[in-house]
């Protein structure tokens, strides 16, 4: 990426009509030995300040690749972005120079990764790694930067932060490590925080604490948050809206309330029904039939049709557009009405 057309950094402040972050018709593909893998095929979503968007999908659905494209941390090559825009405060990040992009990364848009143990550098202390943000981006002295690091560790509620600032990542528990990861990502008050499966590697009880922490930090700073997960349960309490991804596309957009009550896409419906529920104890648990699509060899028509209980003949040939159901809802299913009504064809 050596585009130098617009080197202007998007300014902070008034947004006008522009959302904080808007992904528009994004396509990402990977060149592999076996052929071109189309990991993301026309994804669009937007995010406002203080808003939480949950992106839901199984592995290979393109949810993480989209996030990495926003961050600009895809390996290019093999990755390529043939089409699409990622507008941050109105400026298309994809058109920025490498240098300008680096200025956005970490400072304006930050990311929390899934596995904090492997995502933190094993040979530097956590204090060093957090304070690096201040030293490099803010030109702070070593001492000031360390003090800021301790402050942040306090903020994410790491006990005895001042004593632990010189410890190494492997000396912390999984939950504490993820807190450090979070501290590092919010260090420079980013406007957008992308959390990629932030709790997947953690115990259930710790998961709740981390989600709570993220929600709290977000309330304080009014940052927009993209929460990437495959776990519907994680999403319910914190997300404002949900985008469900399947085979590199968004198949349903909805508010949290709507999606739990009346899913409008058979895939979402399947996901919901496969969550164990106390009130349905004793009944057989639903499982979506078949396997996730092979990205090298996508099914024709609707990517979900081989697994879909609502399938009709045209699903095999026509890829459904994202049908608008209401102002905030849309579904990429020809038969979303039937899905909403609960009639299985």
Partner 1 sequence: MSNDPQVGPVQTVTAPTPPGKLKKEAKPASLWGDAFYDLRRRPMFIVSCVLIAILLVMSFWPSLFTSINPFDAKTCELATARQGPSAGHIFGRDSLGCDVYARTIFGARNSIVIGVSTTIITAIVGGLLGLLAGARGGAVDTVTSRVTEVFFAIPWILGALLISATFRDANLGIWIVVIALAVLAWPMTFRIMRAAVITARSQDFVVAARALGASQSRVMFGHLLPNAVAPVIVIATINLGGFISAEAALSFLGVGVQSPDISWGLMIADARNRFLEAPLPLVFPAVFLSITVLAFIMLGDAVRDALDPKLR
Partner 2 sequence: MGRYVIRRLIQAIPVLLGATLFIFVIVFALPGDPIAALAGEKRQDPNIVLILRDQYHLNDPVLVQYGYYISNIFLHGDFGRTFAGVPITQLMAGKFQVTLNLALVALIMEAIIGVLLGLWAALRRGQAIDTMILAATLLLISVPPLVTGFVLQLWLGVWLKQTVGTEIFPIAGINGGLRSYLLPGFVLAGTSIAYLTRLTRTSLVETLRSDYIRTAIAKGLSRRRVIGRHGLRNALIPLVTYLGADLGTLMGGAVITETIFNIPGIGLQIYQGVYLREQPIVVGIVTILVLVYIVANLVVDLLYAVLDPRIRYE
Contacts with partner 2, residue ranges (CB under 8 A): 71, 73, 102-107, 110-111, 113, 115, 118-124, 132-133, 136-137, 168, 170-171, 181, 184
Beta bridge partners of 29: 38, 80
Strand ranges of the sheet holding 52-56, from the earlier edge strand across to the other edge? 109-112, 192-196, 224-229, 52-56, 241-246, 249-255, 330-331, 323-324
* 241 CA to centre of own chain: 12
Nearer to partner 1, 163 or 294 (CB): 294
Nearer to partner 2, 108 or 334 (CB): 108
Residue 111 interface partner, choices partner 2, partner 1, none, CB cut-off 5-8 Å depending on type: partner 2
| Cα gap 154→150, rounded to integer Å | 6
Reference 166, options 114, 209, 221, 124; nearest CA is: 124
Beta carbon of residue 149, minimum distance to partner 1 (angstroms, whole number): 36
| Cα gap 179→202, rounded to integer Å | 12
Nearer to partner 1, 141 or 294 (CB): 294
Beta carbon of residue 247, minimum distance to partner 1 (angstroms, whole number): 17
The burial of 130, by beta-carbon neighbours within 10 Å (0-12 exposed, 13-18 middle, 19 or more buried), is given as buried
Beta carbon of residue 58, minimum distance to partner 1 (angstroms, whole number): 16
> From the DSSP assignment, how many helices (H) and strands (E) are in the chain?
13, 12
Nearer to partner 1, 34 or 204 (CB): 34
Nearer to partner 2, 6 or 119 (CB): 119
Residue 170 interface partner, choices partner 1, partner 2, none, CB cut-off 5-8 Å depending on type: partner 2
Beta carbon of residue 60, minimum distance to partner 1 (angstroms, whole number): 11
Beta carbon of residue 102, minimum distance to partner 2 (angstroms, whole number): 5
**Residue numbers of the site for partner 1 (CB under 8 A)?**
33-34, 296
């Amino acid at each position: 990426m050596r585009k130098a057309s617009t080197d202007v950094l998007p300014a902070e402040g008034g947004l006008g009509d522009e959302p904080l972050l808007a992904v528009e018709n994004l396509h990402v593909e990977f060149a592999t030995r076996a052929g071109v893998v189309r990991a993301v095929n026309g994804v669009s979503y937007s995010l406002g300040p203080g808003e939480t968007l949950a992106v839901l999908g199984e592995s290979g659905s393109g949810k993480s690749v989209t996030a990495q494209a926003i961050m600009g941390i895809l390996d290019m090559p093999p990755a390529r972005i043939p089409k699409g825009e990622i507008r941050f405060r109105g400026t298309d990040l994809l058109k920025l120079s490498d240098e300008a992009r680096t200025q956005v990364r970490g400072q304006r848009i930050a990311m929390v990764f899934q596995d904090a143990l492997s995502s933190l550098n094993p040979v530097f202390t956590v204090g060093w790694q957090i304070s690096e943000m201040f030293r490099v981006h803010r030109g702070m002295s070593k001492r000031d930067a360390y003090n800021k690091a301790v402050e942040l560790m306090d903020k994410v509620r790491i006990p005895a932060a001042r004593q632990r600032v010189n410890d190494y990542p492997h000396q912390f528990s999984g939950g504490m490590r993820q807190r450090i990861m979070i501290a590092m990502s919010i260090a420079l008050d980013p406007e957008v925080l992308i959390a990629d499966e932030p709790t997947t590697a953690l115990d259930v009880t710790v998961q709740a604490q981390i989600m709570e922490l993220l929600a709290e930090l977000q309330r304080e700073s009014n940052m927009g948050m993209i929460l990437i997960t495959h776990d519907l349960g994680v999403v319910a309490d914190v997300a404002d809206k949900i985008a469900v991804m399947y085979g590199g596309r968004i198949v349903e957009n909805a508010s949290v309330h709507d999606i739990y009550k009346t899913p409008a896409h058979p895939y979402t419906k399947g996901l919901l029904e496969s969550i164990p529920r106390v009130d349905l104890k004793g009944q057989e648990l639903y499982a979506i039939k078949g396997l996730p699509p092979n990205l090298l060899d996508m099914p024709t028509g609707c990517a979900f049709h081989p697994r879909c209980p609502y399938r009709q003949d045209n699903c095999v040939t026509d890829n459904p557009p994202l049908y608008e159901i209401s102002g905030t809802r849309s579904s990429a299913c020809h038969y979303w009405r039937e899905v909403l009504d609960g009639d299985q064809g």
